[in-house]
Amino acid sequence: MSDDRPIGVFDSGIGGLTVLKALARRMPGENLVYFGDTAHVPYGSKSPAAVARYSAAVARFLAGRKVKALVVACNTSSALALGEIRAAAGRIPVVGVIEPGARAAAAATRRGRVGVIGTEATIASRAYTKALLDARPGLAVKAVACPLFVPLVEEGWWRHRAAALVAREYLEPLRRARVDTLVLGCTHYPMLKPLLQRVMGSAVRLIDSAEQTAWETEALLENSGGRRSARAGRREFYCSDAPKRFLSLARRMLGLTVSNVTLHPFDI
């Protein structure tokens, strides 16, 4: 039997497309439906109550698309709203991005010194610190909020000199802490990966949770018998505001042909 239902993926904006790309690369035969809540981006500067409200609304929309699994490709939502998302999704299994990334970082660090960068809300939640210490007790964890990174990426400025200036300022405490592994605790941040690597130095391992999240989603579907047996799946894209801008950035980020983005605003 082949389960043709799609995998749902969502983020506050375009950053979660890095997770969608990893899912498509690992499981090219699966149908994927993506929602970017561009009307409310960034989630990282919002209150926990607002993040929960927006995340639950998106989860209900994707549940209505009859998805067979829901990937929360947003670290802020994963940190603050998994309970509300699971309640909105009902029986649909939900995969967050924090624990897969934390496990990968805990396994990768050589000296037990791990840095985490993320939105203000993600860092304030201490979700990564807890997940890292659960995965490997005794780690020295240094977490730094980088609130300007998301708007820079959403503006398409990941190669702009302004991004370089901001990155050097934000990452200096992590350089002083001599971390050997750095978790990119926001799905927008992989677009800044070459810049972050230059600032941190080649000896620091950067952890992007997208690949690990894709692996865990694949394992979930394998174990439940929910895989789709096909060579190529379809891709659907929705956003809550500015679909033309979403389309332009999605094409640049994915390096793939994104033919259409459907506007679906939320009245919340």
Residues assigned a catalytic role: 74, 186
**H or E segment to which residue 114 belongs:** strand 113-118
Half-sphere exposure of 213 (CA within 13 A, CB side): 34
Rounded Cα–Cα distance for residues 58 and 60 (Å): 5
What is the residue type of 203? A
Query: CA-based Rg of the chain, rounded to a whole angstrom?
Result: 17
Rounded Cα–Cα distance for residues 256 and 155 (Å): 19
Q: What b/e readout covers 191-201, taking b as 16+ CB neighbours within 10 angstroms?
A: bbeebbeebbe
CA angle 148, 152, 158 (to 5 degrees): 125
Task: Quote the tokens at residue 195.
Answer: 């810049």
Dihedral sign (CA 10, 12, 17, 18): negative
User: At what angle are helices 243-254 and 17-26 packed, to 10 degrees?
Assistant: 50
